[in-house]
Amino acid sequence: MRKQEISEIKKLFTPGNCSITRICGCYVECGENKKTEWNQAFLALPEDELYKYFEILRKSLSGTLGKNLLNLEFSEKSRNEGGQQEFFLHLRDSKLRDDVLLEQFYDRIIKSYEYVGNYLILLIHDAYDIPGRTRDGIEMEDASDEVYDYILACICPVDLSQTGLSYNAKENTFQNRLRDWVVGMPDTAFLFPAFNDRSADIHSTLYYSKDAKELKEEFINKMLGCKLPLSAECQKEAFQALVEEVLGDDCSVESVKNIHEKLTKTVQKQEDNEEPMALGGEEVKTVFASSGVSNDKMEIFDQCFDEIIGRDTKLLLNNIYSGRNFEVKTQDTVIRVNAGRTDLIKVREIDGRQQLVIDLQGPAEVNGVEVRPMQ
């Protein structure tokens, strides 16, 4: 799914656009005990509760693609008869009216979701009448030719509220506030089927993780039947290791700067693309080669990429490239410049030693004091 498609679904979670049919819930204590369950028509909820659920649902589709939001495909095994894909299709097609399927759904989450405390499993069903669009992107509400039937599951932590004083309006006094069990924003969520190209894609799901560094491998593998992709942090670290391994003794400030500058140009070409650009081995190899990496170093690139990253693995450009700054760090110093101004940093040999030289263009500040270049 792309940003525009995710935004289109998020817009449904408002009173004016809502088409959600049912909502189900299961409160789990101590990570495994089902405390209570419910199942009802969504629009039958009190208005103030609707807004709270809308907030949770919108949050489950928030974040950065490739980091908090991941497009996952079902594995070949999970597509077989009796696999996870078939189970989710049955659950969706039941419109959440089959109590046996719901119990199985809750049990599967409890079995695969690692969480020590209490949490709430929320599940909704929606039937979105997809409006047609002109070539200019203008929606035509009366030109729909498909209904997007989907479910969205959220797993939200439930914690005790903090202690404190609260104002009692009835008695006009301040009193000790009672601690309540409060539902937080979701830690994990998934949308099935994915809304790819503004249409249902039963072979994919959109996965949300509040913590981009902790994607819950067992849950993705067992519950969803999908392969865990490298996290954003792991992709960044793997790319850094690849640079060091390929360049070897030639891994200098200038060499790394050249690769960074090439990535900057690649990012600029993709600015209008809503979907994050994925780089496979050949694309990364082209970046290295066009950055001036010597031919003898490029001879070992394929082997290094396969060993460090994986032959069939793709890296998202926004995970391996920092669009904010270019950083040079030593034991005692940290130097950062804007990502597009690496030309300000140069390496020069002064008095027989390599020195980092920063081009001072105009006034500068040192500890908040404006200074001027030496005359």
pLDDT at 324 exceeding the cut of 80: yes
- Name which of 257-261, 273-277, 299-303, 339-343 the model is least confident about: 273-277
**pLDDT range class, residue 179, cuts 50, 70, 90:** confident
pLDDT at 95 exceeding the cut of 80: yes
How many Å apart are CA 292 and CA 295, to the nearest integer? 9
pLDDT at site 168: 84
Q: In the numeric block, which tokens belong to residue 230?
A: 């490298």
What phi and psi, each to the nearest 5 degrees, are found at residue 223? -75, -45
Which comes out higher in pLDDT, residue 368 or 53? Answer: 53
Which comes out higher in pLDDT, residue 247 or 162? Answer: 247
Distance of alpha carbon 54 from its chain centroid, rounded? 20
Q: Which residue has the tokens 């203008």?
A: 138
Selection from 128, 106, 86 nearest residue 39 by Cα: 106
With both helix axes pointing from N to C terminus, report the angle between 301-308 and 281-290 in degrees, rounded to the nearest 10.
130
pLDDT at 143 exceeding the cut of 60: no
The whole-number average pLDDT for the span 272-288 is 85
- Name which of 7-11, 298-302, 318-322 the model is least confident about: 318-322
pLDDT at site 7: 94
**Is residue 20 classed exposed, middle or buried when 0-12, 13-18 and 19+ CB atoms within 10 A define those classes?**
buried
pLDDT at site 110: 96
Distances (CA, A) of 244 to 9, 237, 239, 315: 42, 11, 9, 17
- Name which of 16-20, 43-47, 295-299, 350-354 the model is least confident about: 350-354
Contact yes or no for 57/13 (Cβ under 8 A): yes
* Torsion angle of the four alpha carbons 13, 16, 18, 19, in this order, in degrees rounded to the nearest 10: -160
Give the percent of the chain with pLDDT over 90: 60
pLDDT at site 90: 97
pLDDT at site 136: 62
pLDDT at 271 exceeding the cut of 80: no
pLDDT at site 135: 61
The whole-number average pLDDT for the span 76-94 is 95
Cα-based angle 184, 41, 187 (whole degrees, multiple of 5): 20
How many Å apart are CA 297 and CA 245, to the nearest integer? 9
pLDDT at 275 exceeding the cut of 80: no
Tell me the per-residue pLDDT of 155-178, one tens digit each, with 9 for 90 and over: 999 998 888 888 888 889 988 877
Q: Which distant-in-sequence residues (6+ apart) come within 8 Å of 251 by Cβ?
A: 243, 244
Q: What is the pTM of this model?
A: 0.80
The whole-number average pLDDT for the span 311-324 is 86
How many Å apart are CA 79 and CA 85, to the nearest integer? 5
pLDDT at site 142: 62
**pLDDT range class, residue 137, cuts 50, 70, 90:** low
Selection from 320, 238, 339, 306 nearest residue 276 by Cα: 320
Domain boundaries, the chain: 3-160+167-224, 230-321, 325-375
pLDDT at 364 exceeding the cut of 70: yes
Number of H helices, E strands in the chain: 11, 22
- Name which of 54-68, 91-105, 346-360 the model is least confident about: 346-360
Selection from 257, 209, 182 nearest residue 69 by Cα: 209
Q: Which distant-in-sequence residues (6+ apart) come within 8 Å of 233 by Cβ?
A: 212, 213
Give the percent of the chain with pLDDT over 70: 95
Which comes out higher in pLDDT, residue 324 or 295? Answer: 295
pLDDT at site 140: 65
pLDDT at site 134: 64
Burial 351-360 (b: 16+ CB within 10 A, else e): eeeeeeeeee
How many Å apart are CA 180 and CA 160, to the nearest integer? 5
Q: What is the DSSP string of 15-73?
A: TTT--EEEEEEEEEETTTEEEEEEEEEGGGS-HHHHHHHHHHHHHTT-S-BTTTEEEEE
pLDDT at 127 exceeding the cut of 60: yes
pLDDT at 268 exceeding the cut of 70: yes
Q: What is the DSSP string of 158-219?
A: EEEPPP-EEEETTTTEEEEPPP-EEE-S-SEEEEESEEETTEEETTEEEEEESSTT---HHI
